Amino acid sequence: MRKLNAEDHGLVSRAIAAAEAKSDGEIVAIAAEESDAYHDVGLHYAVLVLFLTLAFFAACPTCLEALHEQFNGWSAEPGLRELLTLLLLMALAKFLAVLFLLKWRPLRLALTPGATKTRRVRRRAILLFKAGAERRTVGRTGILIYLSLGEHRAEIVADEAITSVTTPETWGEAMAALLIEVKAGRPGEGIAAAVALIGEVLATHFPKSGEDTNEIPDKLIEL
């Protein structure tokens, strides 16, 4: 995916300013390279391979004996201690090999289940919303668009005044517009399109009043 550049930042800033000109809502746009390192996923796969190795040789002990024979040639028939030591070494070697392979971020991310990515993107979005937008506006009209580039996932999180008059389905069109552009390699255009559609919803429920001030800067935040 193309990296966000200065042109994207300008495009999103202008979209936020235009949307907020029509409503009392405050839109925050954040793009992150990824929402989690997923190191635990690599560990889980390594542990799974370790147990599968143990399970395989438990189900086929003669395979372990054959393996021992390959390493030791015509030596005497192995004892229990030798076989268990070999089993331990095999399981440990496979565990470490998988753990090492999954240090490579693209592979680790590719093997992370989609549901896990979705949960962690959502969790990160909520944490960022609480830190940067929740209750930071007088009318509780802050809303966050969060795009996690590595996972190709996005979230929209809104403050209490907005959630009281909308449902999660309200943002479906904005989310679709965002993800279409992201999948096409145009994240800046996607965020700007989502901002415009969110602005229309905010203008309907929270039209611009004379008392409104710009409480949150109109810019794209990169993490």
Residues 133, 198 share a domain: yes
Which residues are registered as beta bridge partners of 222?
31
Q: Is residue 1 part of a domain?
A: no
Q: Where are the alpha helices (DSSP H) in the chain?
A: 6-20, 39-59, 61-72, 80-101, 105-111, 114-132, 160-163, 172-183, 187-205
Q: How confident is the model at residue 140 (pLDDT cuts 50, 70, 90)?
A: confident
21 plus 62 within the same structural domain = no
Percent of the chain whose pLDDT exceeds 90: 18
CATH code of the domain containing 192: 3.10.310.50
Asked, for residue 178, whether it belongs to a domain, the answer is: yes
Are 129 and 199 part of one and the same domain? yes
Domain end (from 77, 110, 143)? 110
Residue 218 belongs to what domain range?
A: 6-36+113-222
What digits encode the pLDDT tens for the residues 64-98? 777 777 766 555 566 677 778 878 888 899 999 99
Task: Please tell me the distance from the alpha carbon of residue 160 to that of residue 157, in angstroms, as a whole number.
Answer: 10
The 10 Å Cβ neighbour count of residue 132 is: 14
Boundary-marking domain end, from 75, 110, 145? 110
Stated pTM of the model = 0.79
